[in-house]
Structure formats: structure tokens, C-alpha cells
Structure 1
């Protein structure tokens, strides 16, 4: 990639390839094994080893991971799933895909994640699952209420689309065995397969159910079906396998992941230092020693004005995310969520991807010139806001 072609601060997010991915794809093409093959199974084994878990089940996308995990848990019509509104719409669409209803819950303003108290305040007799979103790569600790959730028969399915590689204590996310964990390996994630996802099951029985569902409910594998005149379909299923082409990309990315997590943490720290001179600017809290950050966000009272101003300066800011309970498709489940609604008006995602350099980050900070109507930056932990003061 030439220097002129390198994505910079004009892009909010961008895929990052290390180079060997092209050769890995070429080998799969030469072998002619494009579908779910041995290379997909190797990727599953390597991810399981990386996380320190017995098993991992690869699927076609992060959304497919959530959908499959809900199906395997028996979640369906008449059930409610507690979920934060502050997430990508795919989280909610997976719940609707199984016929369940989202029960939107508010967030901690400092982290944009749910807490155990907020989760328990939303539990009803219809609650069948809790789907915490590990926003920006941050872990969500529900251990204090896990026993009560188990007693009520409520399963926990983590949406860890942002959090591959992050840790909770000494363990990687997915290794705690207290939840079914779903990762996304989409184009701009911490690890990409081009498109793909992974479910980390809690039990061997759950792993078997996940594999049947992702293969159209069939009992036999592709290799087993080649040696028989029939096959059995024992349950509802979908074509959610991860292709060998995508798995080949994932294997290369996994080999380089130690460099990826170091780079992303260093970029976040560089942003923190570059924005520190701006009085009143508070980054959304990330424990960067534990999380592998997927986003770098600030909160700004007059966010839309700042968004337009920085976009006009060719700075690729974004908004992650408009709250789902305000979306037209989900109005049937609308409820008052004050912290989420406030965050939805204030959050601004700064450019954040592995192509960025410290010079790019300095440009983002120094380009934040005062627009005609001076915006304010909201401190996520304080009710008062102070003006956005600018670097010289």
C-alpha cells in the first residue's frame, strides 16, 4: 500500500491487512475448497486456543453469531431479552429474528455499558435472556447477579462484537464460561475475516446445538454427507457457516493479533494525550489496560454542530450509535432511557483504525477549531459542561 493510499483521519474506520492474507486466500482458491472446510475448523481451534476455551463455533457474521446463540438457548416468542439501546441495530435484529422482544435498558453514562443493577431492574417474568453489549471493547461484569440470573433460568449472551482480545481480569473475554460470547469479525473489527463471526459456547451440548443450527439443522457434516445417500435434518437451521476464504483471512489476522492489540491501545493513549490540553474534553471511559479498544469517543453537548464542522475539515468523525429505542422499526418497545438519550445526543466517534499515526491524531485534535456556535464537551461523570477549548 502506497503512502498516498494509506487511510488516514479522513476515515472513521478502516480494515487493516498485514499482507499475507492475499496469499492465504490464493491457496484456498487453488485448493477449490471455498465453503466450510478444514481451514474453517482450524480457525475455530486456533481461536479456542487463543482464548483458552475448549471450543469455538465459527459462523458467517456477528449478527449470525447472536441469532444462532439465541436459537441454541431456546429463546423465542413470548420471551423478553434485556439489551441496551446503545448498540448497533444488529443486536436488536437478532432478538427479533427469533421472535422474542427486546427489553431496552439504560446505560452507565461513564462507560456506555449496562451494569448489574440496571439489568436486574429490568427483569420480569418474561425475561429469558440478558444480552450485555461490550461497548467499544469494554468488559461488562455481571458476576454479582449471575447466581440470581441462573436461579431464574435467565441466560447471558454477550454481544462482544467490539471486544475480541479484551480481558476481564486475567482472562480474555469469552474465557470466563459465565456467558455465551459472540464475536464479530467484520471488515473494521479488531480482527477481521472480511466478514464472519464466532460463538464461544459454555458447554459441549451448546456447541453441538450451535453447529447443527449453523448447518441448516443437519446432523451430518459436509464430509459425512459425501459418503451416504441421505442425510437427516433434526432441527431448524440456517446456512450460517464461515467459508474457508474468510477463515483464511482470520488465521493470518490471529497470528498478528498481538501487534494489533498493542497498536490499538497505543492509538487510544495517543488520543488521550493529544486531547488532554482541551479543557473539558473527557473521553468515554475505557480501561485500556484491559480492553482492546474498538472506538475512541468523546461526548459533546452540541455534537451535531461539531460533527458537521469536523466533517467539513475532512475529519472522519462518526456516531456510534443512535439509540435503538428511538428507531422507527423498534418504537413498539420504546421506553424512557434518560442516560441513553443524553448520550445519543452527545457521543462523537473520532477516527480510529490501525492505519492512523500520531500525526493523524494530532491533526484531529488541532482541527477542532471553534465553529460559529461554540460547542461544549460534556463530562461523562459530571452534570455540568464547560466550553470546548481549542489547541493553539
Structure 2
């Protein structure tokens, strides 16, 4: 039986500012959710940003939705089986990141109770996953080249460059010319429109793995048209909000590869369905990142071990973002991260590290 939830806000300074087309992150205001049952407890992480820039969700709003709507919706649910959250949560429109945080905490608790690792529960087939790194927009190309050189020296197997109008062809050319035949892709975070198709086609000569979410998230038909005008494979991120959305995008020819972010689709159960829809249609997937702590990273690494995840994801080591994580750090080994093998998500927060960064806690009884 579910006893209640602890909502914990933590402040995680980033090693360096992370700039994208929707803003600059200097630190992470993170909402953690701890689910407590009669027999176990589990953790989930809300990946919403501090402001509604990447999506309509933001940290303070997610906390309010969890307190006022999601936790009360679980009253009467007989146990922590995360599948039992889907029907009551479906009545509450939107807020997938808030839902994912609560569902993941319950999933972690339920799996710990049964002694099962998340990776095995999802159907993972690997014990380690290749790691890529996402490189934010820089002040200059020399600064970008120095950053990429450092990440390659650390062993990252794939480089993703954030791009926006005015910062696209020139930095991509510079990285390709400097580092040769590395695995390279770009992420636009919806910064372009279909009118930019001819300009985006200038990226074709650089043999990129993909261009991620170049157009607005609701412009699926525009992505399908863009895919006919450029050679670089189109990858959808923000547009993929569910397995049904993935199926529709694939049917329209809007994407040939999909970035799965569990927080964006409402949790790891739906993320597995997105994976399965893509696999059934011959569409490769990879796991994106939202600057997660070790709690969210552990679950993402488990998802990235599924057979349909054919490209390195944004599953960077902990020290890419944080000097000290709230869990034992994820460490790069030969360009890979080990998949946690313990029950649940396979990691637990370090009490001292957690205490150091906590800004607020609240207990809500079910």
C-alpha cells in the first residue's frame, strides 16, 4: 500500500553554463519525488526546467500539480504497481514530466520490493551503453573546438552540437574539419521554420547522423516536408509526446530516428511503448537527456540498454554536469556507462550529498 510521498527540491550547480536556443542553464532546480510504501521506497526525478521554455512545464508548477492532483488521484490505489497510475493520471490533462516523476518513484519502489532491476523489467539486452555528449552553444568557434576536443579525449563516442540561426553551418563545418569522421549530430530545439529548408540543407555535406527537432513541436507535417528537402536524417524530440504521436510521425514520413525522453512522454512505461512502436517500424531510437542527476540518469541508462536504441544517447557521465552528484557518480569507461544491476533504478541518493543541496522538503500522505 502507498503511504505517501516526499517532494524534495534541490539546487545543483552545473560545472559550466549550458546554452541552447531556449535559454542558459547555470544550475538545476530539481524536484525529486520519494514514494514510500509499506514495504519499500523509491525515487523519481522531475526533469522540468525552472521556467516554461523547453516545454509548458516548470519545476514549481510540477510540484503543485503533484501535490494538488496526482497524489490525490492515487487514493485507493491498492499497491505501488506503476501500471495502476496510468488510468487515474490519464484523467489529468498534460503534465507528463510531473506524472513521470511520480510514476518512476512508484516503479522504483515496486521493483525494489520484488528484487527486480529496471533494465531487466524494461527488456534491456546490454550491460553497458555507449555515451554521447551534448555541447551547448558557445561564444566562439575556438571555444567550441576546445570543448569538443576535451570531450573526445574523455572518450565520448558521439558529439551533439546545439544549433540556432546564426550558429549552425560554420560551427558544424569547423568541428567536422578539425576532428574528421567522428559521430556528429545537431540539435535545433525547434529554432527553425520550414522556410529555412534551403539553409538547413547546407548541413548535408557534413554527413551528420541527424538533425534533431529543427521545426516547432506541433509542425509534424513541416518536418515531413523538410525530410524531402534535405539529405540529413530528421530526428524528432519535442514532437514525440507518446507512442501514438510517434506512430503518426512515422506514418507521415516526418522522422527516421526518434529521441525518447521519458519525462516528455509521461514515464518509462510509455517510453518503452515508444521504443516498441519505432522498432516495429524500423525506426532507430536513442535516449535523450535533461541534465539529470544520478537518479534520472540511472533510469535513462537502463532504458538506453533496450535493443532498439541503436545510437549513443545523451547519457553522459555525472561529471559532465555536476562536481558532486546526489548518487554514486556515473563514470565513463571506454566510452560507455554501466547499466545499474541493483533492484529498481539501481541507485539511491547519498544522504550527505542530498542534505547539502536540499532547499525544501514536503511530505504528502496518501
TM-score w.r.t. structure 2 length?
A: 0.33
Larger Rg: 1
Higher strand share: 2
